[in-house]
């Protein structure tokens, strides 16, 4: 089984479509979406359609973001729409044909039944944040959905679990990665990327809003070739002199980019 955490989509339906094509989810895989499916990007409706369809292919966990909170508050609780529309809601309304009254019942059920957080044996998934001394069930809505990551960063959670979250946009599409915390809101709608992070391996898949997967530049490949060449030459010289070389084989590292350090 593979487990992927997927950051804030914000209506970038082309990015999501390519991301899912690259992942190619199998029935035993688990995809965990960290919230903010809607607003700002061009097609929020299609994003939700894709995720609903995805639930027929693999295990899907959908968390609530602050933008879904605003939509539900306007659509079902009569909240004034001004704040939501000024924060990207207009794009969502347009994707539903110009009025929220056209949101299909299946979509409204999707918005109403999102989870506030999700935990596994070794990880916590949440939209916005946590407090290191509290259980996730003890947190208030401001921490779960609204507050951005502070500086300095929160301490490790008392459970010892690694926390995966979104909500706080990261510059240049670079994942914020620490031993105890990973933030994968990489600002897709604003010129960055939609990010999927494979929890077990740290592998990154990133796609921009136009649906193009992020690739490494030639310089990164040249650097890895140079490292391989130096290691290979060292091993060859040691063999010629009859010595041995301790440490990793020059063939022991995969050719994939290191997590969080891919070049555009």
pLDDT tens-digit readout, 32-85: 999 999 999 999 999 999 999 999 999 999 999 999 999 999 999 999 999 999
**Residue of 113, 94, 7 lying closest to 46 (CA atoms):** 94
State yes or no: pLDDT of 250 exceeds 70: no
138 by DSSP, 3-state: which? helix
Per residue in 12-32, is it b (16+ CB within 10 Å) or e — as a string? bbbbbbbbbeebebeeebbbb
- Structure tokens that stand for 244 in this block: 């041995």
- Structure tokens that stand for 20 in this block: 């899912």
State yes or no: pLDDT of 245 exceeds 50: no
Q: Which residues contact 175 (CB under 8 A, 6 or more apart)?
A: 182, 183, 184, 186, 195, 197, 204, 259, 260
The CA distance from 264 to 244, in Å, is 39
Q: Name the residue ranges covered by the structural domains of the chain.
A: 3-207, 218-264
- Structure tokens that stand for 118 in this block: 């999700």
Is pLDDT larger for residue 29 or for residue 254? 29
What pLDDT is recorded for position 239? 60
Q: Which phi and psi angles does 227 have, rounded to 5°?
A: -60, -45
pLDDT digits (tens, 9 = 90+) for 100-114: 999 999 999 999 999
Per residue in 156-187, is it b (16+ CB within 10 Å) or e — as a string? ebebebbbbbbbbbbeebbbbbeeebbbbbbb
What pLDDT is recorded for position 232? 61
Report domain 3-207's class.
alpha beta
The reported pTM is 0.82
Q: Is 201 left (phi over 0), alpha (psi -120 to 50) or beta?
A: alpha
The CA distance from 183 to 170, in Å, is 8
The CA distance from 207 to 202, in Å, is 16
The CA distance from 191 to 262, in Å, is 16
The CA distance from 5 to 95, in Å, is 25
Q: Which residues contact 63 (CB under 8 A, 6 or more apart)?
A: 32, 33, 34, 35, 114, 115, 116, 117, 118, 125, 126, 127
The CA distance from 186 to 207, in Å, is 10
Please give the share of the chain, as a percent, with pLDDT higher than 90.
80
For the chain, give the number of residues: 264
Is pLDDT larger for residue 136 or for residue 247? 136
Q: Note whether 10 and 88 are within 8 A (CB).
A: yes
State yes or no: pLDDT of 246 exceeds 50: no
State yes or no: pLDDT of 121 exceeds 80: yes
């Amino acid at each position: 089984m593979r487990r992927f955490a997927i950051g804030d989509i914000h209506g970038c339906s082309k990015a999501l479509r390519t991301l899912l094509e690259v992942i190619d989810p199998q029935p035993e895989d688990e995809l965990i979406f960290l919230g903010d499916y809607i607003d700002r990007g061009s097609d929020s409706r299609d994003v939700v359609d894709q995720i609903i369809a995805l639930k027929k292919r693999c295990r899907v966990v959908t968390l609530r973001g602050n933008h879904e909170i605003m939509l539900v508050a306007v659509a079902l609780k009569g909240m004034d729409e001004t704040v939501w529309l000024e924060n990207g809601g207009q794009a969502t309304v347009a994707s539903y044909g110009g009025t929220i009254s056209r949101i299909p019942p299946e979509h409204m059920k999707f918005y109403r039944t999102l989870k506030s957080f999700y935990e596994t044996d070794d990880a916590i998934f949440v939209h916005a944040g946590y407090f290191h001394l509290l259980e996730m069930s003890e947190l208030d809505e401001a921490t779960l959905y609204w507050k951005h990551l502070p500086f300095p960063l929160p301490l490790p959670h008392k459970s010892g679990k690694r926390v995966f979250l979104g909500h706080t946009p990261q510059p240049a599409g670079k994942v914020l990665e620490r031993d105890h915390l990973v933030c994968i809101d990489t600002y897709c709608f604003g010129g960055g990327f939609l990010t999927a992070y494979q929890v077990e391996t740290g592998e990154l898949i990133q796609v921009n809003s136009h649906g193009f997967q992020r690739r490494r530049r030639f310089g990164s490949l040249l650097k890895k070739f140079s490292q391989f060449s130096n290691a290979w030459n060292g091993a060859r010289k040691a063999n010629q002199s009859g010595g041995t070389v301790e440490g990793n084989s020059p063939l022991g590292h995969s050719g994939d980019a290191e997590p969080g350090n891919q070049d555009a």
